[in-house]
A and B are shown apart, each in its own frame.
Chain A
Amino acid sequence: MNHPSSAIDYLYVDNLSWLRQLIYRRMGCNELAADLAQDTFLRLLRKPQEFDSQEGIRAWLSRVAQGLCVDHWRHQEVERTWLETLAAQPEDHALSAEQQAILVETIYELDSMLSRLPEKIMRTFLLSQLHGKTYREISSEMGISERTVKNYMAKAMSLCLRVQLELETSQ
């Protein structure tokens, strides 16, 4: 398929209602489907793709849209879990809406990085970075050598860096 300058306009008009319908079937909300379809095309604008057929276009759009749907669910799940956690606390936290939003987003990002790490590596990384434990403390708590702790830390950071890069190149 030949794509002249206005190719993306044509592609947009050609596929918008199809894509909305596809997302709607997954999410069951028209407004959300419209938003996510828009985001899908935004990805395409930011990172133009070459397509050789209509099937290719739709395969790409539906794959990206699927990813956005999953992200959306995950965001909601993170927010819900965060609010549940807060609600279980007796004391008043007095976090502003903005602070809440930043925290939810941060936890979402942490969760998507951490979920890619093998369990032991993730625990090591969290004990160090979140709980501020020293390598020695982690070593005795996990029953591994300090050398291994350091190893795990490098591994964890290396994997997180890859996730971070994927994140930045996919947007």
Chain B
Amino acid sequence: MSQFNVENELPDFDILEQAAGWFAHLESAEATEEDHQRLKAWLLESPAHQRAWRYVEKISQRFSIIHQENQVNNTSNTLSKLQQHTLGRRALLRSLLFAAVMGGTGLVSWQYPPLSSMARAIRADYRTGIGEQKDVVLADGSHIWLNTNTAINIDYNQQQRHIELVQGEILIETAPDHQQRSFWVSSQQGQMQALGTRFNVYQQATETQLTVYEGRVAVKTKTQQHILAAGKQAIFADTGELRLSNANIQQSAWIKGVIVADQMTLAELVDQLGRYHRGHIGVSPDVATLAVVGSFPTQDQARVLSMLTASLPIKVRSLSPWWVSIVPAN
């Protein structure tokens, strides 16, 4: 009933109907001075009536603007042309839908370049420096974010879409492919096949870390195969052995420019931070295992260090901008 009453200040449906009734009556020639008095009384009855009437006034105001500017004929012509266009568009849509039914995939295929141009293999290389990030959209609409110090090769051909992670870290969001080609990522330790999905691949010094956020990813190493569901993480080394765990959902926080520390030690955080900056941060073994919590900007090392000194019993010794040590406070 009161479908517009989602918020208190909106007039109730019933009241809108009454206001519309008042409007229709007062516009007619039979409306008398008495009727105007009755409207006034109705408005005084409740603020809701007044609100409803303000909407009526808003609508008639539009016509007043046209009258003030003396544009009745032009407005009338414009409106009727617009209505004709709308009718024309509806007819066009009907015929397109009809063609789609008759022609099968007629509607779908126009969104994509013809097959001949897609058949050409696309080859491109992307690279980020230390502290740099990049957002790459591939020909099929798939999205790849490159984290700091990352390099990838892209090889799209008629059979498959293939990304080679040479170094660093990427977050991938695959788009459905109308040619239904498979989507592969290879690292130094194995191959991963996306099964419709969003996932993160991090090439570490001797291991690959794969985190799946949406869909599934099939992993194949030298010795093992496994299908990883969303919310899972796998780490695999040269030996081919897979270590499975629950995904660290904060792993992809890097695309927002932050490291989110949840169950991290100081040493781990500094390790992560080091990926974004040149130079060296040393952590004294006495404080290396202190737990850190919070989100830290990847691009602002000085700020992270001051955040850390504020919350932990540590101090920062800076020999040069390139050489920083974190040691116990006393």
List residues of chain A with CB under 8 Å of any chain B CB.
10, 13-14, 17-18, 21, 25, 54-55, 77-78, 81-82, 84-86, 88-89, 95, 99, 102-103, 106-107, 109-111, 113-115, 126, 128-132, 134-136, 146, 149-151, 153-155, 157-158, 160-162, 164-165, 169
Contacts and interface: CB of A to CB of B under 8 A. Distances in A.
B78 A13 contact: no
B25 A150 contact: yes
Given A102-B65, A157-B59, A165-B55, A82 B74 contact: yes
A61 B64 CA distance: 36
A162 B25 contact: no
A169 B16 CA distance: 15
14 contacts: A14-B256, A18-B173, A25-B141, A81-B82, A85-B77, A103-B65, A103-B66, A103-B69, A126-B79, A135-B29, A157-B56, A158-B20, A161-B56, A165-B4
Nearest to B58: A164
Contact of A151 (B23, B24, B76): B24
B75 to A, nearest CB: 6
B79 to A, nearest CB: 6
Given A77-B82, A164-B59, A130 B76 contact: yes
Given A161-B19, A164-B55, A169-B7, 11 more contacts: A13-B256, A21-B137, A95-B69, A103-B69, A111-B83, A135-B28, A149-B28, A153-B23, A153-B24, A154-B20, A169-B6
B17 A158 contact: yes
Contacts of B28: 135, 146, 149-150, 153
Contacts of A161: 16, 19-20, 52, 55-56, 59
Contacts of B7: 169
B10 interface: yes
Contacts of B255: 13-14
B79 A99 contact: no
Contacts of A135: 27-29
Contacts of A157: 19-20, 23-24, 56, 59
A103 B59 contact: no
Contact of B60 (A13, A77, A95, A129): A129
A111 B82 contact: yes
A135 B29 CA distance: 7
B85 interface: yes
Interface in B250-304: 255-257
A128 B311 CA distance: 72
Contacts of A107: 66, 75, 78-79, 82
A45 B55 CA distance: 25
Contacts of B16: 158, 161-162, 165
B7 to A, nearest CB: 8
Given A10-B256, A21-B141, A103-B69, A81 B78 contact: yes
A135 to B, nearest CB: 5
Contacts of B10: 165, 169
Interface in B9-43: 10-11, 16-17, 19-21, 23-25, 27-29
Contacts of B126: none
Interface string B45-67: 00000001001101110110111
B167 to A, nearest CB: 23
Given A13-B256, A165-B10, A154 B75 contact: no
A114 B72 contact: no
A131 B27 contact: no
Interface string B127-167: 00000000101000101000000000000000000000000
Contacts of B79: 107, 110-111, 114, 126
